[in-house]
Structures are given as structure tokens and as C-alpha cells.
Amino acid sequence: MDYIKNMRKLIGHETLLTVGCGVIIEDDDRILLQHRTDADNWCIPGGMMEMGETFEQAARREAWEETGLTVAELELFGIYSGEKCFVEYPNKDKVFSVQIIFKANRYTGNIKLEDVESREHRFFNRSELPANLNPRQKPFIEDWAEKKSIPIIS
């Protein structure tokens, strides 16, 4: 994303405010998670909003880029902010990312087996989530598993 690269030239590793958009893709009461290539953890498909996009456009684009699926009928699941949204990456870049999370239980396409960002995609039952969830996404994945009311704004 050119915006982030350009901002990094100006602010170095200092904290950058971003908006992340992701999709909880459900199938038969299971959640689709991707095993990341940049870390040994599982997360939902999602990523940073680009300039001019709506939340929904960003979520759909990220879901398609990372999974090969076109999601239909997005429903707001939750908006997440606060202390858990701070992250420092291994290269020392710092980010505070507000997370807009959608849910979809209808989709078309074929799931990519793997790509640059993902080692694997797999559906998990609510009671059988992997132990190594992405720490920044763990709150909303667990909220999904616990069937918390939606939308959740924290």
C-alpha cells in the first residue's frame, strides 16, 4: 500500500493510525481461518483500508485477495478499538489499527490453498479453534465462538 509506505518515509517507525477491515466467513457454523506465512498464527481474512474505499469495499477486496472467495451480504459484526489494537511489528513499525469486522455466510468461488500471505485456509468449529490465534484478532474470533451479540463495539 503506497499510503503506508509514504507515511513511513515521513514518520519512520512512529505509531501510524490505520483502519483494518476483515470478514468472518461462516460455513455450517464454522469459521474460515487462514494460517499466516509471516507468523505462525491463524486469523480471519482482512487487511488495511485503502484511500477512497468504504469499509465494505475493503473487507470484500481483502477477503477475495486472501481467500479467492467473493463474499455476499456482509453484516457488521463489530468495531474494535482500544489498547489491544496497538501493535509493534518485528521491523519496529508501530500501528494503532481500528478494526471493522463483518460477517458473511454466503460466498462464491474456490478457496485458495495457499498464497503469499497464507500457508493454509481451513474451517474450524466454535469449540475447536486453534490455540495460536493472531493476538490482535483473538478478541473478535473468540466473540464469534462465544456467539456474543452483534454488533460489538469495544
Per-residue pLDDT of the chain (154 residues; tens, 9 = 90+): 588 899 999 999 999 999 999 999 999 999 999 998 888 899 999 999 999 999 999 999 999 999 999 999 999 999 999 888 898 988 999 999 999 999 999 999 999 877 777 889 999 999 999 999 998 899 999 999 998 866 566 6
For the entire predicted model, the pTM comes to 0.90
pLDDT of residue 117: 79
Q: Using an 8 Å Cβ cutoff, are 136 and 85 in contact?
A: yes
CATH number at residue 84: 3.90.79.10
pLDDT of residue 154: 60
Residues spanned by the domain of 103: 2-153
Give how many domains the chain has, as a whole number: 1
For residues 8 and 98, give the distance between their C-alpha atoms in angstroms, rounded to a whole number.
18
Instruction: Please state, in angstroms and as integers, the Cα–Cα distance from residue 4 to each residue in 1, 13, 43, 48, 82, following that order.
Output: 6, 11, 22, 9, 21
